[in-house]
Structure 1
Amino acid sequence: MRIVFMGTPDFSVPALTSLVEAGHEVLAVITQPDKPKGRGKEIQMTPVKEKALEYGIPVYQPVKAREPEFVSLLADMKPDVIVVVAFGQILPKSILDIPEFGCVNIHASLLPKYRGASPIQYAVINGEKESGITTMMMAEGIDTGDMLDQEVIDLDKNETGGSLHEKLSEVGGKLIVKTLEKLKEGTAVRTPQDDSKATHVGMIKKSMGDIDWSMDAVSIERLIRGLNPWPSAYTSWDGKVMKLWEATVLEKEYEGVCGQVVEVGWDCLIIKTGKGSLSLKELQLQGKKRLDAGAFLRGYPVSVGTVLKQLSDEQ
């Protein structure tokens, strides 16, 4: 099929690779404009742009894809289908109506659950047992179009936002090839979403990682995994920001206030929460390297009775 591919981050790359390797004619890649990143603020290409250039595919980076001039450019390409994976802009009807087979989106959840920008993180944060990929026909609403295919995967008990991101990225790359085959053959089945079962999740903000120690230990541990690697969960210790990368839930209840260090061992740091307690396994002090609990305690002694606090409470 003649395809225009629209995507921007790492998550989109396996889908582009799969389409090219399956023999489809990718006419062009549309991605977000390059942006400055890092301390040096050097301009960096998007991951999708880098991959497209490797294949010698023309790349376009409109600031606003809905501009009439760009819509006209897309129409002139006469694509059979437009494949969209985490592009980063809402497409207007003028674009959705261009391809013969429509615009197909790869979404990282089992729709209609977790429509919106951050389905991967919320699947972990909310303790879901499974997640997956949905390929869907795009409509004018956000993730509201008819579903085409789904593939389910089980979440590991130690799943992080990062590990689930990688798994679903690969699943999406394989599933889109199967979906396009069905569209071309006329065997694709469009299943309307049950809007009554829909949930919507917005953008992840850094402030979400500011741990409220009055929450139960299970919820905090899920938050730590869900926000790993970005933006990370964190707390305040001795006036410094401490990022938490891994923890284990303990059912044991301790006396004291929420956020209090209730036990310190040679390789464990146990914190009281609103329900149960949390053994911190991997930590990172502001401006320092990530360390396991044992190495951290050897470098930064922490006393029983110390209270970890929400950063927002200290500002």
Structure 2
Amino acid sequence: MRVIFMGTPDFAVPSLEALLTKHEVVLVVTQPDKPKGRGKKMVPTPVKACALEHGIPVLQPEKVKEPEFVEQLRSYEPDLIAVTAFGQILSEPILEMPKYGCINVHGSLLPKYRGAAPMQWSIIDGEKVTGITTMYMAKGLDSGDMLLKAEVEITDEDTFATIHDKMAVTGANLLLDTLDQLEAGTLERIPQDHDAATYAPMITKETGHIDWSKNRQDIINLIRGLNPVPAAYTIYEEEVLKIFGAVISDVQSDDAANGEIVAVVKKGFVVKCGDGCLLITEVQARGGKRMMTDAYLRGHAMKEGILLQ
């Protein structure tokens, strides 16, 4: 099958690599390169880097809906367009272009968690199971007919980083299974129940600002869901302190205010939350490296009674 692949971040690379094992990928479309680092050097997207390694032509349009770009796509005569975490909405002329349509690899069990950040929000919300859905793309946001699904367990130890990696592999395998059934004529289209849909909005820096009045498990889930990026954080003495790990503490401090540091111990510092206390086990100060809190405390004196904001 002649396939155009659209994708951008690391999450999409396994999908592209999987397609290359069984199909003819005639073109890769990805987001424009962006400057990174102190030198602001232009860095290719992970999908672009993968495509170039395999000698596949790459296009990086600012806007895929521009008529000139749509005609450029049409010239490749794709049987199918496969999309994994591309980052732009496809116009109707593109959706209608391929013989077999446009199929998207989405990081949730639709119709739950439509939107930009389904993996992060599934952890933040305390879900125990997430997964991948392949779907026909439509004009609405992640609203097209579903095709295949694969579940992925979320353990208590999982973070966004670990779920991301598991889901990327699961998505790649499910994409191949979807195309196999598509070619065999056995693929079933299942309309979504739009009334059951939930939304997973884009993650912003402010998403990670910890509200210490919430219960301990909700705060742990927030920390896990934003680990490693953009990271949950609090304000300690007017400086941002990123937090990457926390466990429930048995320290009792009913009289303390929410967000108050109630104890500084060998393994970390203890913070009062809405339903008890948390021991903070891994942090990163502004301008510093990420480290276990016991190592951080050897070089930084934290004070009991300080109120985290």
TM range (shorter): over 0.9
CA contact (8 A) 1:112 1:197 kept: yes
State the distance in 1 between where 2:73 and 2:187 align.
25
State the distance in 1 between where 2:53 and 2:293 align.
42
TM-superposed deviation, 1:14: 0.2
TM-score normalised to structure 1 length: 0.96
Q: Percent identity?
A: 49
Any residues of structure 2 matched to 1:218-233 within 5 Å, and which?
Answer: 218-233=217-232
Structure 2: which 5+ runs fail to align? Answer: none
Structure 1 match to 2:107: 108
Structure 1 match to 2:281: 281
Cα deviation code 1:113-171 (max 9, x no counterpart):
00000001001100000000000000010100011000001111011111111110111
Cα deviation code 1:164-200 (max 9, x no counterpart):
1111011111110010010111100111111111001
CA contact (8 A) 1:10 1:47 kept: yes
Structure 2 match to 1:161: 160
Any residues of structure 2 matched to 1:26-105 within 5 Å, and which?
Answer: 26-105=25-104
Structure 2 match to 1:12: 12
State the distance in 2 between where 1:8 and 1:283 align.
29
TM-superposed deviation, 1:34: 0.8
CA contact (8 A) 1:253 1:275 kept: no
Q: How many residues align?
A: 308
TM-superposed deviation, 1:238: 2.0
SS of the residue aligned with 1:77?
A: coil
Structure 1: which 5+ runs fail to align? Answer: 310-315
Any residues of structure 2 matched to 1:65-214 within 5 Å, and which?
Answer: 65-214=64-213
State the distance in 2 between where 1:149 and 1:250 align.
42
TM-superposed deviation, 1:259: 0.7
Corresponding letter in the other structure for 1:242? L
TM-superposed deviation, 1:246: 0.4
TM-superposed deviation, 1:267: 1.4
Structure 2 match to 1:270: 270
SS of the residue aligned with 1:172?
A: helix
Structure 2 match to 1:300: 300
Answer with 229-238 or 102-111: which moved more: 229-238
State the distance in 2 between where 1:11 and 1:162 align.
11
CA contact (8 A) 1:28 1:57 kept: yes
Root-mean-square deviation (Å): 1.1
TM-score normalised to structure 2 length: 0.97
TM-superposed deviation, 1:251: 5.8
Corresponding letter in the other structure for 2:90? L
CA contact (8 A) 1:37 1:44 kept: yes
SS of the residue aligned with 1:271?
A: strand
State the distance in 2 between where 1:180 and 1:306 align.
57
State the distance in 2 between where 1:174 and 1:93 align.
27
SS of the residue aligned with 1:164?
A: helix
